[in-house]
Chains A and B, each alone.
Chain A
Amino acid sequence: MVGDRHVRAIAPRRIAAMDFDPLLLARLQFAFTIAFHIVFPSFTIGLSAYIATLSAMAWIGGGGHYRRIGEFWTRIFAVSFGMGVVSGVVLSYQLGTNWSRFSAATGNIIGPLAGYEVLSAFFLEASFLAILLFGGNRVPRWLHVMSAVIVAIGTAISAFWILSANSWMHTPAGHEMRGGVAYPLDWWAIVFNPSFPYRLAHMLNASYLTAGFVVLAVGARYLLAGRHVEEARTMLRMAIGLLAVLAPLQILLGDLHGLNTLKHQPTKIAAMEAHWDGSKPGDFHIFAWPDEKAEANRFAISIPRGSSLILTHDPNGLFPGLKDVPPQDRPPLIPVFFAFRIMLAIGFFMAPAALYGVYLWYRGRLFTTRWYLHAMAHSWWIGFVAVIAGWIVTESGRQPWIVQGTMRTADATSPVVGEAIAFTFALFIAVYGIVFSAGIYFINRLIARGPEPSEPGERGPRLGSALAGLGDAARSLAGRSS
């Protein structure tokens, strides 16, 4: 790799000693704003695809309930997308406010990738979202459906460029370093850098899973309450069908992504596995407390040679350990190790949960197995937590580098005093806290209100409408209708 050494960016200015550590504050603030932001795209990328599917189904004559479900989720989408947009605008400037030396050193590479995101996706989403939200009675039906599709494609294109830029920071390629500045040599190699295809597939799939589990949870909630039964069943069927394919696929994609990381960022893998000694096969620790000072794990409950088996497909296989690099080149172990376990646990919950849903569906009990519906109704949040945990793994796992092997995070900061960062950090927490609480409140209200009731005389879906009607009637009689 070209420039595989520690390079200082444009003449760093000496910052006087002070009480507030600008590096730590800049990192905390950025972690906070980016973790807040990722919640929304990871939901809206998946949800926009769902809305596009529903619009198309309604358009080709699938029945009025597809239109009502689509309109229902579009209202929730509008709130989430708005929060995603505003928190994303913040990030496009925070690269400069928090990481100006990183911007100066890598602007030649990161700049065009971010620029292509704005030009190819951001404008597209913003413009066609307006037609999707407000243009229902102003444009032809086909264009309204197309707008939903374009918004969905736009969100995926956004992810493409942003993840390309992010992946380049993990596996930089196609450039050379001159005087501490990265110069592009081969754009194809830069855009399709080694970790990009894996990260893109893993993240896009995570977005579809996140949205899928929210739809599943809302459908289950309605069924349990006996409300919007027709819509709830459709939500459940569509969600289960999608999740049964994507949740197992995610485990495979995660594995491939992990193997790619082992090849390019072995220290990150060592941190994820808390694997100290590279000369011995690695155990898989179900639980442990990695002790960075003692360079050992405490309280470990392990599957002997489990990690070696997963990572090398050989119980005696060797892979690099943490002790292979000096302590100052190791990532912080606690967040990486535990976030990885949280992500893993959720992944291994998602796949069997979805497959069991298919089994219930096949046996005709999907809508009546109440314990399953209860469990799913309470699982709306798991996708979000898995996404954030995954990002903690990959970003903390890259530390102490901001660009792997090329530029250290400590050399990337802006010449901004700690007090200013502390002040704006407090503002961010206050503003995002208010906005996030209000957003969750409004989304909950929209969910509580549910899809519009069907109009009398409207042709229902071809299957199951009579049954659903019976079910509704029975529940009303039983006095369970809310």
Chain B
Amino acid sequence: MTAEWLLPLIWAGIIGAAVALYVILDGFDLGVGMLFPFAKDDRERSQMMASIAPFWDGNETWLVMGGAGLLVAFPLAYAILMPALYLPVIVMLLALVFRGVAFEFRELGARKSLWSAVFAGGSAVAALSQGVILAGMIQGIRVENGAFAGGALDWATPFALLCALGVPCGYALLGATWLVMKTDGPVAERARTQAKPLLVAVLLFVAAVSLWTPFAFPRIAERWFSLPNILYLWPVPLLTALTALVAWRALVRGRSATPFACSIGLFLLGYLGLVISSFPYLVPPSLTIWDTAAAPTSQSFMLIGTLVLLPVILAYTAYVYWVFRGRIGPGESYH
């Protein structure tokens, strides 16, 4: 077991965890943004925003962590993925710019509805772009001589369209169940009603991706359906179905935290499924985590700091969530 073999594996784990955290954490606040148009009035929207205002900045930092982590540990993958997914990445970033400033601008401005629309639109476009980026990383990227060798629109496929609709749907589910847990009154009730069709839609998208990918990409079919893999992997879809069932019952029975927990569970299972499909390829179908890894000295220099700092970050992130615990009532806002 050499450092050249072990370090990329550890880093894949760290970045994988950071991306999972990002998807869940920013997922729910992007989802809340996408549910903005369905609120009754600006007072309700302020209540929704108050439920995420203390958290969004920290949540989005996991995206920076994902990008910086990729540059740290797998610079070659970073250098291939960014040009390959150039347009969706830039569009996502600009959408995040809009929705990020909308938090403050909406509170300060007289034209609340304008910045509400910007917030909702920015959230939706960011989620949609992330769906396209996800698709790009599953369907593969053309690489020659260690550099991206495709065109600017290579990512635009029917499969990308499927993911571009699926990811926002999933984020909206996270956002709705977050509101069920973190707000009171009509906002929470409406979110509970919205969560049910969203849950069904998410399951349909999960099923569609699960069927599409093995048919379209033989390497994924082989990963899942060859022996003995299938013997180990069959619990993944089963657990997904069970989690969805628990989520549905919790929504019907008026539970507050269980639907959000189950939505996180669904995301983690879906994520696990994608990792199983792609591992160890970081730039499928050609480059693995070992092909794109940074120098061991760089990975270990950063690993020391990460092992010290990451627990501290998780601790104070948890503390911030604890400080702002409890539900936001109707008419409440932080400003």
Across-interface contacts of B69 in A (CB, < 8 A): 115, 118
A-B contacts counted at CB < 8 A amount to: 243
Across-interface contacts of A183 in B (CB, < 8 A): 295, 297
Asked if A129 CB lies within 8 Å of chain B CBs, one says: yes
Known: A85-B60, A97-B89, A138-B324. A120 touches B83 (CB 8 A): no
Asked if A109 CB lies within 8 Å of chain B CBs, one says: yes
Known: A90-B93, A92-B67. A82 touches B103 (CB 8 A): yes
Interface residues of A in 409-433 (CB under 8 A from B): 414-417, 419-420, 423-424, 427-428, 431-432
Nearest residue (CB) in A for B69 is A115
Instruction: Other than A96-B89, A130-B57, give 17 A-B pairs with Cβ distance below 8 A.
Output: A11-B146, A13-B145, A83-B101, A86-B96, A96-B70, A97-B82, A104-B75, A108-B297, A127-B58, A127-B313, A127-B316, A135-B324, A414-B83, A415-B83, A424-B87, A427-B94, A442-B108
Determine, out of B164-172, B266-274, B299-307, the stretch whose residues face the partner at the interface.
B299-307
**A135 contacts B71, C-beta separation under 8 Å:** no
Determine, out of B30-38, B39-47, B147-155, B275-283, the stretch whose residues face the partner at the interface.
B147-155
Nearest residue (CB) in A for B67 is A92
**A10 contacts B93, C-beta separation under 8 Å:** no
Give CA–CA (A126, B145) in the complex, Å: 39
Give CA–CA (A104, B104) in the complex, Å: 37
Nearest residue (CB) in A for B317 is A127
> Which 9 interchain pairs have the tightest Cβ spacing?
A107-B75, A96-B82, A111-B72, A11-B145, A104-B79, A86-B100, A130-B54, A100-B79, A414-B83
Asked if A31 CB lies within 8 Å of chain B CBs, one says: no
Asked if B203 CB lies within 8 Å of chain A CBs, one says: no
Known: A127-B58, A420-B87, A439-B101. A122 touches B64 (CB 8 A): yes
Asked if A464 CB lies within 8 Å of chain B CBs, one says: no
Known: A127-B317, A438-B101, A446-B108. A97 touches B65 (CB 8 A): no
Asked if B174 CB lies within 8 Å of chain A CBs, one says: no
> In the complex, how many angstroms separate the beta carbon of B226 from the nearest chain A beta carbon?
34
Interface residues of A in 64-108 (CB under 8 A from B): 78-79, 82-83, 85-90, 92-93, 95-97, 100-101, 103-104, 106-108
**B147 contacts A103, C-beta separation under 8 Å:** no
Across-interface contacts of A100 in B (CB, < 8 A): 78-80, 82-83, 147-148
Known: A118-B64, A119-B306, A134-B334. A108 touches B75 (CB 8 A): yes
- Of the candidates B67, B86, B93, B298, the one whose C-beta lies within 8 Å of that of A420 is B86
**B298 contacts A184, C-beta separation under 8 Å:** yes
> In the complex, how many angstroms separate the beta carbon of B211 from the nearest chain A beta carbon?
32
Give CA–CA (A438, B69) in the complex, Å: 33
Interface size bucket, A side? 35 or more
**B147 contacts A126, C-beta separation under 8 Å:** no
Give CA–CA (A125, B262) in the complex, Å: 30
Give CA–CA (A187, B302) in the complex, Å: 11
Asked if A359 CB lies within 8 Å of chain B CBs, one says: no
Asked if B290 CB lies within 8 Å of chain A CBs, one says: no
A interface residues with partner B (beta carbon < 8 Å) = 10-13, 78-79, 82-83, 85-90, 92-93, 95-97, 100-101, 103-104, 106-112, 114-120, 122-124, 126-131, 133-135, 138-139, 183-184, 187, 414-417, 419-420, 423-424, 427-428, 431-432, 435, 438-439, 442, 445-446
Across-interface contacts of A117 in B (CB, < 8 A): 68
Across-interface contacts of B101 in A (CB, < 8 A): 82-83, 86, 435, 438-439
Secondary structure class of chain B's binding surface, majority of residues: helix
Known: A83-B101, A184-B297. A89 touches B145 (CB 8 A): no
> In the complex, how many angstroms separate the beta carbon of B315 from the nearest chain A beta carbon?
10
**A111 contacts B323, C-beta separation under 8 Å:** no
Provide a sorted-by-A list of 25 A–B residue pairs whose CB atoms are within 8 angstroms.
Answer: A13-B145, A85-B57, A89-B64, A93-B93, A97-B82, A97-B90, A100-B83, A107-B76, A111-B71, A112-B72, A115-B72, A119-B310, A120-B305, A129-B57, A130-B54, A134-B334, A135-B54, A183-B295, A187-B301, A415-B147, A419-B152, A424-B91, A427-B90, A432-B97, A435-B97
Known: A93-B93, A115-B69. A107 touches B152 (CB 8 A): no
Give CA–CA (A83, B83) in the complex, Å: 25
**B82 contacts A93, C-beta separation under 8 Å:** yes
**B104 contacts A135, C-beta separation under 8 Å:** no
Choose among A88, A93, A416, A427 the residue with the greatest number of B CB atoms under 10 Å from its CB.
Answer: A93
Give CA–CA (A122, B67) in the complex, Å: 13
Secondary structure class of chain A's binding surface, majority of residues: helix
Give CA–CA (A187, B320) in the complex, Å: 33
Across-interface contacts of B146 in A (CB, < 8 A): 10-11, 104
Give CA–CA (A130, B316) in the complex, Å: 11
Across-interface contacts of A103 in B (CB, < 8 A): 71, 75, 78-79, 82
Asked if B55 CB lies within 8 Å of chain A CBs, one says: yes
Interface residues of B in 79-137 (CB under 8 A from A): 79-83, 86-87, 89-91, 93-94, 96-98, 100-101, 103-105, 108-109
Nearest residue (CB) in B for A117 is B68
Asked if B161 CB lies within 8 Å of chain A CBs, one says: no
Asked if B73 CB lies within 8 Å of chain A CBs, one says: yes
> In the complex, how many angstroms separate the beta carbon of B29 from the nearest chain A beta carbon?
12
**A107 contacts B72, C-beta separation under 8 Å:** yes
**B100 contacts A82, C-beta separation under 8 Å:** yes
Across-interface contacts of B60 in A (CB, < 8 A): 85, 89, 126
